[in-house]
């Protein structure tokens, strides 16, 4: 069912420093910071030839990644995003497989303007999984 790896998201305590690391040491193409108030994050997109890395930093007091950074103060991998052709079919399949879909189970519009869902990390090898309709 799953298709391409769309992105890997890494939560970081210092966005400028993270951007400098990817731009400088790794020589990657790195975007300017983009505020996404609906998602409670500021994001820097790192473009790789075959996928993207998203560097996430909390925005506002109710950021969904603040608790993660509290537990992982130097940052860490927050989630992986896989593409699917049909988000509703994917959602129904996940539920039938006994996996927990986070939130109210309805797709939301994600960082790229496409419908996304998140799946409970305990059901997927300890990793938060985002599904995005390609
Ligand atoms: Co994501």
The pLDDT score that the predictor gives to residue 99 is 97
CA 55 to each of CA 10, 14, 44, 91, 103: distance values in angstroms, whole numbers, following the listed order = 5, 10, 5, 26, 23
Q: Which residues contact 81 (CB under 8 A, 6 or more apart)?
A: 5, 6, 7, 8, 9, 116, 129, 130, 131, 132
Distance 82 CA to ligand 1 centre (A): 9
Show me where the domains of the chain are located.
5-133
Backbone angles phi, psi at 88, to 5 degrees: -70, -40
Q: Which helix (H) or strand (E) holds 90?
A: helix 87-96
CATH number of 5-133: 3.10.180.10
The pLDDT score that the predictor gives to residue 69 is 97
The pLDDT score that the predictor gives to residue 52 is 97
pLDDT tens for each residue of the chain, 134 residues long:
999 999 999 999 999 999 999 999 999 999 999 999 988 999 999 999 999 999 999 999 999 999 999 999 999 999 999 999 999 999 999 999 999 999 999 999 887 889 999 999 999 999 999 999 99
Strands 5-11 and 34-36: unpaired
The pLDDT score that the predictor gives to residue 43 is 96
Judge whether 36 counts as a catalytic residue.
no
The pLDDT score that the predictor gives to residue 111 is 79
Please, is 122 exposed, middle or buried when counting C-beta atoms within 10 Å of its C-beta (0-12, 13-18, 19+)?
A: exposed
Q: What tokens does 116 get?
A: 């996304």
Distance 9 CA to ligand 1 centre (A): 6
Distance 37 CA to ligand 1 centre (A): 14
The pLDDT score that the predictor gives to residue 116 is 96
């Amino acid at each position: 069912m799953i298709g391409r790896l769309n992105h890997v998201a890494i939560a970081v305590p210092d966005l400028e420093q993270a951007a400098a690391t990817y731009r400088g040491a790794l020589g990657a193409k790195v975007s300017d910071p983009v505020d996404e108030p609906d998602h409670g994050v500021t994001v820097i997109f790192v473009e790789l030839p075959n996928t993207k890395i998203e560097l996430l930093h909390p925005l506002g007091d109710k950021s969904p990644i603040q608790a993660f950074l509290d537990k992982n103060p130097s940052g860490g991998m927050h989630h992986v995003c896989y593409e699917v052709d049909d988000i509703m079919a994917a959602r129904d399949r996940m539920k039938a497989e006994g996996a927990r879909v986070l939130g109210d189970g309805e797709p939301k519009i994600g960082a790229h303007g496409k419908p996304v869902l998140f799946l409970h990390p305990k059901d997927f090898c300890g990793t938060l999984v985002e599904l995005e309709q390609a």
